[in-house]
Copies of this chain bind each other. A is one copy, B any other.
Amino acid sequence: MARIIGGIGITHSPAAIFAHDKGLGGKPDWAPFFEPLAQARAWLEAARPDLILCVYNDHLNHFFFDAYPSFAIGVADEFPLAPEAGAIPAFPPIPGDFALAARITEAMVARDFDLTVCQELALDHGAAGPLRMLAEPWPAPVVPIFVNVLRAPVPRPARLYALGRALAEAVAALPDDLRVVVVATGGLSHQLHGPRGGEINEEWDLDFLARLPGEGEALAALTTRDYVVRGGAEGAETVMWLAMRGALPDAVRPVVTGYLATGSTGLGLLVLEAG
């Protein structure tokens, strides 16, 4: 039986991704994020995953408002990188697994998750950045799961947690004895516009990191507005971490925690091991 062996919550802040891509991670300023990141990389390598589920959001680099999904899933053998504006160099496509993604889709739709199913999907830094910060080349095929956190109305925090629960059931129903890791990206606090643009809520970020392992359901019971008020309009994307927590069993061990408030974003990192 396939099972989820662990989960990773990780920022997809372009600043962090840029520092990684440029090899700046060794600089002392960056150590509070990149030292734990090195531990997370080592954990992931030792975990030998067969499949990675990546819960992420796009930033108008693929989906547009002509048809904007609440949840979408990539069902393809390969995902190109979105032609993202800016200085991001070209990276090779991210490998998928059509057959496994199709089975997960079937299980999720049977559980009343109304997924938009994408046979073609380009991934922006929301997925591709954290994945390459965590491992390169990819240790396993990826099933990307897109979430609307960009335009209200967005799925409730409790819906994200339920998404994780359902993903765990979907994985348990896979035919093979696979080791699966769930990666959720985004956050932590950031507010990119308005009079308080650039502010970070470090207290809330550290509280969230401390409570997610043991109090996932309580954090999922907060409202979207709670997340916006505490973490900023853009930082509310942190709700995606609830899907990662929901996908894991009640008993988890936090094996890596990292945090660095820098630039305009609280960079968070959390690795939870099942069981």
A120 contacts across to B, CB distance below 8 A: 66-67
Task: Check: A18 CB closer than 8 A to any chain B CB.
Answer: no
A154 touches B119 (CB 8 A): no
Verify A69–B154 contact, CB threshold 8 A. Answer: no
Whole-angstrom CA separation of A71 from B115 in the bound complex: 8
A113 / chain B contacts, CB cutoff of 8 Å: 114
Given A153-B105, A153-B106, decide whether A112 and B162 contact each other with a Cβ distance below 8 A.
yes
In the assembled complex, the Cα of A29 lies from the Cα of B85 at a distance in Å of 61
A60-100 contacts to B, CB under 8 A, are 63, 65-72
Flag A123-165 by CB within 8 Å of B: 1 or 0 each. Answer: 0000000000000000000000000000111111001001000
Chain B contacts of A159 at CB under 8 A? 112, 114
Shortest Cβ distance from residue A156 to the other chain B in the assembled complex, whole angstroms: 7
A67 and B69 contact, Cβ closer than 8 Å, known pairs A112-B159, A115-B114? yes
A118 — which chain B residues lie within 8 A by C-beta?
Answer: 66-68
Chain B residues with CB under 8 A of A153: 105-106, 109-110
Count copies of this chain in the complex.
2
A70 to B156, CA, bound (A): 18
- Is A209 in contact with chain B by the CB < 8 A criterion? no
A: residues with CB less than 8 A from B are: 63, 65-72, 105-106, 109-110, 112-121, 151-156, 159, 162
Instruction: Select A71's contact among B114, B152, B155, beta carbons within 8 Å.
Output: B114
Selected contact of A116 from candidates B69, B110, B156, CB within 8 Å: B69
Q: How far, in whole Å, are A70 and B106 apart by their CA atoms in the complex?
A: 12
A-B contact pairs, 17 of them (CB 8 A): A63-B67, A65-B117, A66-B118, A66-B120, A67-B72, A67-B117, A67-B120, A68-B116, A70-B114, A70-B116, A70-B117, A106-B152, A109-B156, A112-B155, A112-B159, A114-B115, A114-B155
Q: A65-B119, A105-B153 are in contact. List 15 more A-B contacts (CB 8 A).
A: A66-B119, A67-B67, A68-B116, A68-B118, A68-B119, A70-B109, A72-B116, A109-B153, A109-B155, A110-B153, A110-B156, A112-B159, A112-B162, A114-B155, A114-B159
